[in-house]
Amino acid sequence: MSDSPASLTPEALDPLILKTLPDFPLSGQRCVNRIQQRLDLLLLAIEALDVGAAEQFLELARQLGLQGIIRHRIDLWRLRCANPWRRSYTRTPLTLPQAKTLLFLGHYRAKQLTVPIRQLLLAEQQMREKNLPVSANFLLSNYLEQFQSHFQSRMNPRRAKVSVYLASEEDLHNFALVLLKQLLFCAGAAGLQRFWVSLFDGEVL
């Protein structure tokens, strides 16, 4: 008998923890491309911060009782490939439980990484106050280089916005820093709920 997500019971695919976030009335209970893109990029920023992020995501899925949605790396990869910017874009839209699962992983890992995230954002502020390039800071440079490497290897350069970022290192670095701010927001007080609601601004039908 197949153990693919399609063969699992609805109860297995909708753990109680997911019910802590509201279900918005999107057509067909599917998340739109913009939401899928934002969730994947949030996790991409975490990967640029944390070399072992993939294993940490899987461990968090186990701890949170979300194995019915993410059991292994392939499940996680498939969900993240719902991002239309990806080279390996699957065109299979996320369900709300799947989108919530990705956000839970991002939220809890961001909470664990709050100290280094704050350090990087403080370093950015200091560099800008001194009118220096952000890449001149050692910690920031490491993060930005990792993010750039992940972005270049995983995103499709034929996508218009991706090509814009790939054409300008400064724009890509600024984008990576915006994602850091989003991670800090997501990790903060009521950040999980607030970020979830923000994903649907202008998208609820």
With a cut of 50, say whether residue 205 has pLDDT above it: no
Q: How confident is the model at residue 41 (pLDDT cuts 50, 70, 90)?
A: very high
With a cut of 60, say whether residue 29 has pLDDT above it: no
Q: How confident is the model at residue 53 (pLDDT cuts 50, 70, 90)?
A: very high
What does each C-alpha distance from 77 to 40, 130, 173 come to in angstroms? 10, 40, 24
With a cut of 50, say whether residue 7 has pLDDT above it: no
- 65-120 tens-digit pLDDT: 999 999 999 999 999 999 999 999 998 889 889 999 999 999 999 999 999 999 99
**Which pLDDT belongs to residue 102?**
96
With a cut of 80, say whether residue 13 has pLDDT above it: no
Half-sphere exposure of 104 (CA within 13 A, CB side): 26
With a cut of 60, say whether residue 9 has pLDDT above it: no
Q: How confident is the model at residue 202 (pLDDT cuts 50, 70, 90)?
A: low
- 127-185 tens-digit pLDDT: 999 999 998 999 999 999 999 999 999 999 999 999 999 999 999 999 999 999 999 99
User: Is the distance from CB of 84 to CB of 159 less than 8 angstroms?
Assistant: yes
**Which pLDDT belongs to residue 40?**
97
CA angle 161, 164, 166 (to 5 degrees): 110
Q: Is 33 exposed, middle or buried (0-12, 13-18, 19+ CB in 10 A)?
A: middle
- 121-142 tens-digit pLDDT: 999 999 999 999 998 999 999 9
**Which pLDDT belongs to residue 5?**
39
Q: d(Cα 78, Cα 70) in Å, to the nearest integer?
A: 10
With a cut of 80, say whether residue 26 has pLDDT above it: no
- 188-198 tens-digit pLDDT: 889 999 999 98
